[in-house]
């Protein structure tokens, strides 16, 4: 079953707005209510995901990865571990990322025993040479304190409300999300710098239902502003309520490629 949710990744909506919108077949909702719902959807407990990540330059594939994700996302924080299953020469490489109190940190593991800290500015570096940064993986901008409804637009025939998020501790000054209110799915996300320059754009190319019957982005296209590459992500499986413990996110756990029960 195809499903993947980027975090695109603590739910305290401290500042709301009274403006209301209505999309086709969707109830009216305020900016604060919409952001709170989207933030809560990301805080879905423990889960296991399999996906394919393909970095392209034009029509040419520069790098292709088969990955698994072990994650635990709650209102108190997120722990997410990506592990490379393919290509064979990189099998076992693991990235452990944590987000708590608005701050992100991480550890990179390269077999057999090399580790590297991903604190501070390193969170802005590219994940596996893709168009995503490490920070993009764990950041949950729907929990930022300033949420505003700034318009509406159709994306591939789907009516969407545009939600602007500001005020987070992030490499980005603002993030705009085009939300399908019927399914509570972001169909497009644009991330901007403090100068107003577009830094990243994430398009949802496919929507599927997960193992709990909720709609999730199953296909993503990520591009950087002015970049020469594009990254395609396709989810192939997601399971919730799996056996993930503190040991999963330990140094020894980063070496364990077995799927959780």
Report the pLDDT averaged over residues 232-251: 93
How confident is the model over 135-180, as pLDDT tens digits?
999 999 999 999 999 999 999 999 999 999 999 989 999 999 999 9
- Note the pLDDT of residue 12: 23
- Which of 18-22, 61-65, 75-79 has the lowest average pLDDT? 18-22
Listed in sequence order, the residues at least 6 apart from 16 whose beta carbon sits closer than 8 Å to its beta carbon are: 30, 31, 32, 33, 147
CATH topology of domain 31-252: outer membrane lipoprotein receptor (LolB), chain A (2.50.20)
What pLDDT, on a 0 to 100 scale, did the predictor assign at position 15? 24
**Would you list the domain boundaries of the chain?**
31-252
Confidence (pLDDT) at 183: 94
Distance CA 51, CA 66 (A): 6
Mean pLDDT to the nearest integer, 197-225: 94
**In the predicted model, is pLDDT for residue 32 greater than 70?**
yes
Q: Round to whole Å and give the CA distance between 254 and 210.
A: 26
- pLDDT of 112 strictly over 80: yes
Q: What is the average pLDDT score of the chain? A: 88
Instruction: Give the model's pLDDT for residue 100.
Output: 86
The b/e string for 166-187 (b: 16+ C-beta within 10 A; e otherwise) is: bebebbbbbbbbbbbbeebbbb
Residue 70, pLDDT above cutoff 60: yes
Q: Give me the residue label for tokens 């603002």.
A: 174
pLDDT of 103 higher than 60: yes
CA–CA dist 181, 28 (Å, integer) = 9
Q: Has residue 240 got a pLDDT over 90?
A: yes
Percent of the chain with pLDDT over 70: 90
Mean pLDDT throughout 24-41? 82
pLDDT at 11: 23
Question: Which pLDDT value is given to residue 2?
Answer: 40
Give the pLDDT confidence score for residue 23 in this predicted structure. 37
């Amino acid at each position: 079953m195809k499903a993947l949710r980027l975090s695109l990744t603590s739910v305290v909506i401290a500042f709301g707005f009274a403006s209301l919108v209505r999309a086709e077949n969707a109830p009216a909702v305020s900016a604060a209510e919409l952001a709170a719902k989207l933030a809560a959807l990301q805080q879905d407990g423990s889960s296991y995901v399999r996906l394919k990540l393909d970095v392209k330059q034009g029509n040419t594939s520069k790098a292709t990865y088969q990955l698994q994700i072990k994650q635990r996302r709650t209102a108190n924080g997120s722990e997410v571990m990506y592990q490379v299953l393919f290509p064979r020469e990189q099998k076992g490489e693991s990235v452990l990322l944590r987000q708590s109190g608005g701050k992100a940190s991480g550890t990179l593991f390269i077999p057999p025993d090399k580790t590297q800290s991903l604190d501070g500015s390193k969170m802005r570096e590219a994940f596996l040479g893709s168009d995503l940064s490490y920070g993009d993986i764990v950041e949950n901008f729907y929990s930022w304190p300033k949420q505003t409804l700034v318009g509406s637009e159709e994306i591939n025939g789907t009516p969407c409300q545009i939600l602007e998020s500001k005020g987070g501790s992030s490499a980005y000054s603002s993030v705009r999300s085009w939300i399908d209110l019927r399914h509570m799915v972001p169909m497009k996300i644009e991330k901007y710098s403090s100068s107003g320059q577009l830094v990243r754009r994430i398009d949802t190319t496919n929507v599927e239902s997960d193992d709990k019957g909720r709609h999730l982005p199953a296909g993503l296209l990520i591009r950087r502003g002015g970049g020469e590459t594009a990254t395609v992500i396709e989810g192939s499986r997601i399971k919730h309520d799996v056996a993930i413990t503190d040991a999963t996110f330990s140094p020894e756990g980063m070496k364990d490629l077995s799927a959780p029960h």
